[in-house]
Chain A
């Protein structure tokens, strides 16, 4: 499908090759994007708004020389999708928060989570999965079986609890009500003393079932759960917006979990739900067993919605960034022994531009090394440093690095604000890469890409390498930001509690 959009866009935009993206030429391209979104089950209105907004933004952007206009548009769309889904398109790698922080687990006292959603969406299974995650992090958890409706729902939760050694609070369904079970369950957890998280498994219900929605609001009022979590099936189509909106209006949701993404669904529901409710996506369900859960990654979801799956997207992006012409140029030079330090720098920049996709590289054979890199390494800075070193060399030195002797090395280091040892390291990396590149010339395009990526992985995982140097955390910045966010959250939470009291 990604192929599909790309080809379609190329056709639609083939007439622009220089100048700026205009309203007219974008309109054609956006039609293709919109179609792809709808195919991915993004809600009709959401897709419409989204493409309108992206078009507006794209108008007037300069058509980049190295990219086809179609690729540029996909780039813009991808970035927008990532930010809409709650990610930062400029971040090189998405680092999810911890389980406890994703679920808003309080440091002191007990946290109550309430799961809700349509029938069969995966609530009960997800309760088990979350309990397993928390328990593994040493957070004592208790499950409460509040689905008295579906045959054997209690038995199901008990079985799951048994698998992971988590206690399950149950009552006789004939002699109780869901509200009672939840209240008593929370009480029992408090009495147990060491329970820090209580997860309420509620029955599946339609958002238009007034009686059952009232019951859910009662549980919400009586037990004042700290977090209300909506569990949604990733295969959901256009209706995702209706139910998400209704559950959010009834409960003020704190998070969404998207289940069953282990299949081949494109998962447009994720975008629809986020767009209409603004509620953040927290986790995805990746299988039937209790291990099948992962934090939600906006960047992965964005490429999934665009249709390629992670690898296809990566290759696509890589193809774009490793501009085929430049690659060939580099290879020819290498074969002729003309690969210079300038070319080396270009290669490093290309690898750097892969940015946020680095986290999916694990999936590609041979890319493990690069993926395992400490996320703390600041690649931008590294590429910048290499640039500075190369800039401090004369043209002649760049072409014939073997002429760089001790005194030249000292001069270059002084000029670039680095150490002579750094210069040495750079020259070594360069010659290693040059050697490896030589073998590549005979391969096909795809293999070549792979090989280059492999090399990059090796070069950068070299433990003595400069690339492995730890990123210096700036003294202020991120930490303050984190604190500010925490504060913001606390404020929101308190306001919510207040609202609930006032109800």
Chain B
């Protein structure tokens, strides 16, 4: 099954659990009144885009349509366009679905380093496995660095994935300095002549200052070893995350200089709308989505699909 089929299957599940469709509220030819606007606001807020984003959209609807006879398509399209524009930024974050590596800034003249971070349990390690598979399928040689030396059996988890994928893995003792593991990973990348190094990190809450400093240190160590590293710094966000995703992105960007987001667990009933709230404030694009626990449950972020799945 291709990426999109997977993605779609995930969305199909989502659709099934939704009981009502907002379209019912906007039967063509109805007059848009306060009650309808409010119901609509509910739809928007329930995606986790936040009250600010939802309020802005409702205000625009009110301005353009209130008291008027509305057509369903007209209203939906206004909003979808707005959200697409927001998520795609200046167009640089519109990716080629045919080229699954297109979101990555892979170096042409040397090895690439990808750092992966995020709060606890969002799906970092699994996403790394999925991304490695994608790279491997596209002819890249990948080295993994098991930088989570803290959580119980985190190294074993990544080691199992590396074994399944046939990737080389660099590991440290439990409790070892993650920066030293990253350092050895970078050395291995250079010595082995591989194309990409992906560094896993322990989950950490963005309020833990010392752990955020540690992440910064990992980044600096990588930069010292490989020019311009990390070339990609991916922040993994769980699609079920609420407004805390904003604070996560702000803090992780400071420490790890995030260049993109992986939105994991989009196969559930959560809509992942928090990335809209994030995109309103920061220029960090969503690059990939995770749509399951399997190694192939991973797809390039597609704005159209995502916005459609919000079912607004």
Contact = CB atoms under 8 A, between A and B. Distances in A.
Contact of B48 (A119, A149, A237, A263): A237
B241 A243 contact: no
A239 interface: yes
B156 A155 contact: yes
Interface in A323-361: none
A151 B238 CA distance: 19
B37 to A, nearest CB: 14
Given A151-B157, A208-B13, A262-B207, A44 B46 contact: yes
B121 A45 contact: no
A237 B120 contact: no
Interface in B237-259: 238, 240-245, 247
Contacts of A155: 152-153, 156-157
B243 A288 contact: no
Q: Which of B13, B45, B50 has the most CB of A within 10 A?
A: B45
A235 B242 contact: yes
Nearest to A210: B13
A260 B203 CA distance: 11
B267 interface: yes
Nearest to A121: B121
A159 B293 contact: no
A263 B119 contact: yes
A263 B121 contact: no
B150 interface: yes
B160 interface: yes
B248 to A, nearest CB: 8
A41 B156 contact: no
A265 B42 contact: no
A145 to B, nearest CB: 11
A119 B266 CA distance: 12
Interface in A5-64: 35, 38-41, 43-45, 48
A262 B208 CA distance: 9
- Specify which of A43, A122, A235, A268 lies most central, judged by the most chain B CB atoms within 10 Å of its CB: A235
Nearest to A45: B42
A238 B157 contact: no
A242 B17 contact: yes
B27 to A, nearest CB: 22
B180 interface: no
A39 B152 CA distance: 34
B122 interface: yes
Nearest to B150: A288
Interface stretch (B77-85, B91-99, B191-199, B268-276): B268-276
Contact of A243 (B153, B245, B269): B269
A156 B125 CA distance: 14
A238 B270 contact: yes
Interface string A65-103: 000000000000000000000000000000000000000
A238 B47 contact: yes
Interface centre among A39, A150, A265 (most CB of B within 10 A): A265
B293 A263 contact: no
Interface residues of A, number: 48
B42 A44 contact: yes
B288 interface: no
Contact of A159 (B50, B153, B245, B267): B153
A93 to B, nearest CB: 27
B13 A39 contact: no
A236 B46 contact: no
Interface residues of B, number: 48
A266 interface: yes
B201 interface: no
Given A237-B243, A239-B240, A268-B242, A260 B152 contact: no
A386 B249 CA distance: 54
A35 B269 CA distance: 23
Most chain A CB neighbours (cut-off 10 Å) among B46, B151, B244, B273 = B244
- Which of B154, B241, B243, B273: most chain A CB closer than 10 A? B243
A269 interface: yes
A38 B51 contact: yes
Contacts of B269: 206-208, 239, 242-243
A121 B152 CA distance: 15
A242 B17 CA distance: 9
Contact of B268 (A48, A239, A260): A239
A152 B156 contact: yes
A262 B270 contact: no
Contacts of B157: 150-152, 155-156
Contacts of B17: 208, 242
Contacts of A124: 152
Interface string B11-36: 00110110000000000000000000
B241 A236 contact: yes
Given A152-B156, A264-B207, A288 B51 contact: no
Contact of B243 (A152, A233, A260, A266): A266
A242 B269 CA distance: 7
B240 A236 contact: yes
A465 interface: no
Residue with the highest number of chain B CB atoms closer than 10 Å, among A121, A122, A237, A264: A237
11 contacts: A152-B160, A206-B268, A235-B119, A237-B242, A238-B271, A260-B121, A262-B208, A263-B244, A264-B206, A264-B247, A266-B243
> Which 5 A-B pairs have CB atoms at the shortest separation, nearest pair first?
A237-B242, A120-B121, A41-B242, A239-B270, A263-B205
Given A35-B51, A151-B157, A237-B241, 13 more contacts: A38-B45, A38-B51, A41-B243, A155-B157, A156-B151, A207-B268, A208-B13, A233-B240, A235-B242, A242-B269, A243-B268, A264-B247, A266-B243
Interface of B: 13-14, 16-17, 42, 45-48, 50-51, 119-123, 150-154, 156-157, 159-161, 203, 205-208, 238, 240-245, 247, 265, 267-271, 273-274, 293
